[in-house]
Amino acid sequence: MSEKVIEISGINPVELYGVNESKLSVIKKYFPKLKVIARGDVLKAIGDDHEISLFADKIGLMMKHLLKYKQLTENNIEQLMDEDAATGKSSTLKHDDEALVYGNGGLVVKAKTANQRKLVKASEKNDLVFAVGPAGTGKTYTAVALAVRALKNKEVRRIILTRPAVEAGENLGFLPGDLKEKLDPYMQPLYDGLRDMIPSEKLAEMLENGIIQIAPLAFMRGRTLDKCFVILDEAQNATESQFKMFLTRMGKSAKFIITGDPSQIDLPKRQPSGLSQALNVLDGVNDISVIIFDEKDVIRHKLVKAIIGAYKKIEE
């Protein structure tokens, strides 16, 4: 048995511990073999040397996070704890800590989880990347940030964002308005990301001039998508024929990112998903990356992670 005293400096200990030590309770769950005692600006850890070392490293990361971002949520704690869990090595904040985009209101958009960072690296290396996994893992948001960065850096001339216009239990025909007004609700997640990253007047101008195009997947037929960054979102709702059509639109100087969640297919029961087929058909093809996200990457409310885990157990 060993003992280590960790001094909490540069921050208010309550910001780390939480009210009534609520955050500290979350941290302790990751170190069940340690006895952890908090006394003001001093933390005492008693237990195995290796466990104490990991605990000290993680507390150091959280203090750095607080100093930099001025807040530490339970989701932040879970993300910092989950980093490098596969290797068992303590993580550092310095890897890939670069902003993808500086958005509106001082927003700094960057990869927040291990698989988001993998997506960034994969997109830099390969022109066709699949990002597959559950809702709330930041697949689409990260992809949009990469597209905006590429446009700002003049690596591409246009951004094209597309989704299959498949109803999730609703009937498109009964929605009011013209075709654009009927389709806009399906494109809303893509608009949301863009509004975070591009000033509203500039975004309106880009949409007006076709520099950024948002359209349903069916509108891609017959086009050659070149010198552009293309994102196919909700790809699990593309049929097999639509998927082949989309993939063969790729021009010589194009970047494609395809995002989807195979657990949320809204196609008719007898209509197979083109995403599943594409992943099988393209398995082993060089210069294509597939990043698999899971519940550890969820950055929404902590309950979303629990909900995904619960449904996963039923499916298994």
Q: Tens of pLDDT along 53-103?
A: 999 999 998 998 888 888 888 777 877 876 543 333 434 333 335 789 888
Q: Which residue type, as a one-letter code, is found at position 297?
A: D
Within a domain: residue 282? yes
pLDDT for 185: 72
183 and 294 belong to one structural domain: yes
Q: Tens of pLDDT along 279-309?
A: 999 998 999 999 999 877 777 676 776 787 7
Domain boundary among 82, 116, 146: 82
218 and 132 belong to one structural domain: yes
Within a domain: residue 90? no
C-beta neighbour count of 284 within 10 angstroms: 6
Domain CATH for 53 = 3.30.1370.10
pLDDT for 78: 74
Rounded CA separation 119/124 (Å): 9
Domain boundary among 49, 82, 115: 82
Within a domain: residue 72? yes
Question: Which pairs count as long-range contacts for 54-57, CB under 8 Å and 24+ apart, including other chains?
Answer: 54/90, 55/31, 56/4, 56/6, 57/90, 57/91
What domain count does the chain have? 2
| CA end-to-end distance (rounded Å), the chain | 41
Q: Tens of pLDDT along 138-157?
A: 999 999 999 999 999 999 99
Within a domain: residue 92? no
Domain coverage including residue 10: 2-82
Q: Choose between 230 and 93: higher pLDDT.
A: 230
The secondary structure of residue 250, as a DSSP letter, is B
Asked whether 194 and 152 are in contact (CB, 8 A), the reply is: no
Asked whether 183 and 217 are in contact (CB, 8 A), the reply is: no
Two tokens at 110?
């960057």
192 and 276 belong to one structural domain: yes
242 and 112 belong to one structural domain: yes
Within a domain: residue 93? no
Rounded CA separation 308/294 (Å): 9
Two tokens at 256?
């494609």
Domain boundary among 50, 82, 114: 82
78 and 166 belong to one structural domain: no
Within a domain: residue 227? yes
Asked whether 137 and 113 are in contact (CB, 8 A), the reply is: yes
67 and 118 belong to one structural domain: no
Residues near 25 by Cβ (< 8 Å), separated by ≥ 6?
18
Mean pLDDT of 24-37: 90
191 and 269 belong to one structural domain: yes
180 and 250 belong to one structural domain: yes
**Torsion, CA 63, CA 28, CA 76, CA 116, rounded to 10:** 110
153 and 216 belong to one structural domain: yes
Q: Tens of pLDDT along 95-140?
A: 335 789 888 877 788 888 889 999 999 999 999 999 999 888 899 9
118 and 235 belong to one structural domain: yes
pLDDT for 179: 55
pTM of the model: 0.67
Burial class of 194 by CB neighbour count within 10 A (0 to 12, 13 to 18, 19+): buried
Within a domain: residue 96? no
Rg (CA), the chain: 22
140 and 54 belong to one structural domain: no
- Asked if the model's pLDDT at residue 168 lies above 80, the reply is no
Within a domain: residue 42? yes
pLDDT for 95: 39
pLDDT confidence tier of residue 171, bands split at 50, 70 and 90: very low
77 and 122 belong to one structural domain: no
